[in-house]
């Protein structure tokens, strides 16, 4: 009987893990495709990113409901309870990452064929590559319950913030050079912000992995250093 209970519980956990792996794959693809749609002006690709978000929403609901049912039925303790709670947290972050990629895809549609300075496009692409690396690594860290890898992701968030700040300044400069740039630069500003926020969610997941494995939280103060708010630009005044 005890064995039966254990194996039912393991089945529940496997179901949670399977769904989160599927969610991670969808979110990674959404991020890659949304940036590709933006860079290549590919409307069909942008539409497909937007369409795939609903699958993420469904999976998140399933993870949450199934995790709650598991807690109620199996009454897991210690690391088992943490695993169930962590599944809820990670699925929430991955779902938000999908929302942010969807928002980039919507902006790709709105910008359309408008001129995009190559330097900005490359900057966005670079930022997105960095964040994608973070996302892959932190999802691996979650699957493998690898705290060292998670802490490494957590520490790397500062590099993304630095890139965001420099892109932000670049975009303001373009806007000031020519008012015709303002409309699409505003979209690109929000795209950059979305990528930066995806980075924040990978940091959240890293914290969850730390909690899952060690049962304690990482320090509340993050190693982040967003200087874009203080970014000053020569306004030509």
Selected from 5, 6, 51, 110, the binder of a second copy by CB under 8 A is 110
Q: What is the DSSP string of 2-58?
A: HHHHHHHHHHHHHHHHHHHHHHHHHHHHHHHHHHHHHHHT-HHHHHHHHHHHHHHHH
Selected from 18, 21, 182, 223, the binder of a second copy by CB under 8 A is 182
Spatial distance between the Cα atoms of 115 and 124, rounded to a whole number of angstroms: 15
Toward a second copy, which CB reaches closer, 19 or 187?
Answer: 187
CB of 6 to a second copy, least distance (A): 17
Give ∠ CA 14-16-22 in degrees, rounded to 5: 100
Q: Looking at residues 194 to 223 of the shown chain, list those that interact with a second copy (rule: CB under 8 A).
A: 217, 220
Selected from 19, 107, 156, 210, the binder of a second copy by CB under 8 A is 107
Residues 6+ apart with CB under 8 A from 173: 233
CB of 200 to a second copy, least distance (A): 10
Toward a second copy, which CB reaches closer, 81 or 149?
Answer: 81
- Report the b/e string of 39-60 with b at 16+ CB within 10 A: eeebeebbebbbebbeebeebb
Asked if residue 79 binds a second copy (CB under 8 A), the reply is: no
Question: DSSP H helical segments within 41-146, as ranges?
Answer: 43-74, 78-111, 118-144
Asked if residue 94 binds a second copy (CB under 8 A), the reply is: no
Number of residues that bind a second copy (CB under 8 A): 40
The interface region with a second copy, picked from 25-33, 41-49, 134-142, 175-183 by CB under 8 A, is: 175-183
Selected from 18, 40, 61, 119, the binder of a second copy by CB under 8 A is 61
Spatial distance between the Cα atoms of 141 and 120, rounded to a whole number of angstroms: 31
Toward a second copy, which CB reaches closer, 156 or 187?
Answer: 187
Q: Are 130 and 160 in contact (CB under 8 A)?
A: yes
Q: Are 209 and 142 in contact (CB under 8 A)?
A: yes
Selected from 5, 6, 51, 68, the binder of a second copy by CB under 8 A is 68
Q: Are 196 and 160 in contact (CB under 8 A)?
A: yes
CB of 116 to a second copy, least distance (A): 15
Asked if residue 190 binds a second copy (CB under 8 A), the reply is: yes
Asked if residue 179 binds a second copy (CB under 8 A), the reply is: yes
């Amino acid at each position: 009987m005890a064995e039966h209970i254990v194996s039912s519980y393991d089945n529940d956990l496997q179901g949670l893990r399977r769904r989160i792996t599927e969610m991670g794959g969808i979110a990674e693809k959404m991020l890659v495709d949304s940036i590709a749609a933006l860079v290549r002006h590919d409307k069909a690709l942008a539409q497909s990113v937007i369409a795939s978000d609903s699958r993420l929403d469904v999976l998140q609901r399933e993870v949450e409901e199934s995790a709650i049912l598991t807690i109620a039925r199996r009454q897991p303790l210690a690391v088992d309870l943490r695993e169930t709670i962590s599944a809820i947290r990670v699925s929430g972050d991955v779902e938000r990452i999908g929302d942010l990629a969807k928002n980039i895809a919507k902006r790709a549609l709105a910008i359309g064929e408008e001129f995009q300075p190559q330097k900005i496009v490359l900057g966005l692409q670079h930022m997105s590559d960095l964040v994608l690396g973070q996302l892959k690594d932190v999802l691996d860290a979650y699957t493998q319950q690898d705290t060292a890898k998670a802490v490494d992701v957590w520490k790397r968030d500062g590099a993304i913030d630095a890139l965001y700040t420099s892109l932000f300044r670049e975009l303001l400069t373009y806007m000031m050079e020519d008012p015709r740039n303002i409309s699409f630069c505003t979209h690109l500003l929000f795209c950059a912000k979305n990528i930066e926020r995806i980075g924040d969610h990978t940091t959240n997941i890293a914290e969850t992995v730390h909690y899952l494995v060690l049962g304690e939280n990482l320090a509340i103060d993050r190693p982040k250093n967003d200087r874009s708010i203080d970014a000053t630009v020569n306004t030509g005044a």
